[in-house]
Amino acid sequence: MNEIIQEAAKILENGGLVAIPTETVYGLAADAENPEAVAKIYAAKKRPTNHPLIVHVADAGCLADWAREIPENAIRLTNAFWPGPLTIVLKRSSRAKDFITGGQDTVALRCPTHPITHELLTAFDNGHSRGLAAPSANSFGKISPSLAQHVRDDLGEKPNGSVDLIIDGGPCNVGIESSILDLTCDPPRLLREGAITASMISRVIGGPVLHGQDNHSPRVPGTLKSHYAPDHPLELVEEENLAGRAQFLARHFETFSLIAPENITKRFAPISAKAFGYKSVEDLQTNLYDWLHQLDKTGADVILVVPPQYSDQSCGVLDRLTRAAVPKNK
């Protein structure tokens, strides 16, 4: 076994915190059955303690240990998408304690595909279906990390930071958090949009999928109005309004940075503080968090974003962009 994985497994055994690479974003992992270890996650993130955490498992064989009354659709979906960026919400077993589920009768389960984390989960599981609680490895309300450097800059490694070990597994190729699907209701509900889209899920289960939460849905803090927000204001601008908005800002001696389709950034780069052009929705999704981290640092007054057209595939990235555009105190 790789040395770093051995070291990480040992830290987790002893109730420590390890930042793990996943295909979506970096996670802040702790033993999901150790209440003191899980408490350290909340303290490091400064996250309200009634917010439930996702339990990351090595494979679908762990479902029956963490959940009960598992519907047929859970089997179909895990066969189709695990390991991968789909989190499923099921009724919990007695193994998923209140300190993981926020006191709810459900548990969120995910099996990530990143090879390092997959190996770590398999080592940690050790044939006992043990899981790792792992929210995104960022301070509550900040932009999620898609590079190990983002975790170093925000939470940091001990002794100066709060994480025992940050594993650098390179850039996260999906780039936004997993899709979360509530399977405790029929039809299932997509509580958080991600790379596994509603139509991909529909195709596998052969039926409809509802979007968003209703009054009975479990709490999902990633769906608070303002989340994933940079420190500087972010505005969504349609292409036809961009020139006018740029002129307005210039007249008020305000600077802007830009994220837009490549053909647009080519034209606007000379008058913006910094610009990133995207080639496709997938390119935007993969790079969004890193670009926001970088643009936040340039110090321009406003981050302007020309969003992609609405489609099944762009739902996830549009969701993150609209939340990032909500003023921080909302």
Chain positions contacting Mg ion, by CB under 5 A: 136
Identify the CA nearest to 272 among candidates 281, 284, 280, 264.
264
Of 227 and 274, CB closest to Mg ion: 227
Burial, 272: exposed, middle or buried (Cβ in 10 Å; 0-12, 13-18, 19+)? Answer: buried
Pick what 60 binds: Mg ion, ligand TXA, none; C-beta below 5 to 8 Å, kind-dependent: none
Distances (CA, A) of 216 to 71, 75, 212, 220: 19, 24, 11, 12
Minimum separation from the CB atom of position 13 to ligand TXA (A): 20
Report how far residue 170's alpha carbon sits from residue 151's, in angstroms, rounded to the nearest whole number. 12
Q: Which is nearer to Mg ion, 78 or 87 (CB)?
A: 87
Tell me the C-alpha distance between 60 and 74, whole Å.
9
Residue carrying structure tokens 């555009």: 325
To Mg ion, the closest distance from the beta carbon of 279 in angstroms equals: 26
Instruction: Closer to ligand TXA by CB, 186 or 254: give it.
Output: 186
Least CB distance to ligand TXA at residue 120 (A): 13
**Closest residue to Mg ion, Cβ-based?**
136
Q: Choose the one of Mg ion, ligand TXA, none that binds residue 22, judging by a C-beta under 5 to 8 angstroms depending on kind.
A: ligand TXA
Helix, strand, coil percentages (3-state) for the chain, rounded to 5, are: 35, 20, 45
Between residues 93 and 226, which has the closer beta carbon with respect to Mg ion? Answer: 226
Q: Which residues bind ligand TXA (CB under 6 A)?
A: 22, 24-25, 27, 51-54, 87, 89, 101, 104, 106-108, 110, 112, 134-136, 177-178, 180, 191, 218-222
Rounded Cα–Cα distance for residues 40 and 47 (Å): 10
To Mg ion, the closest distance from the beta carbon of 239 in angstroms equals 30
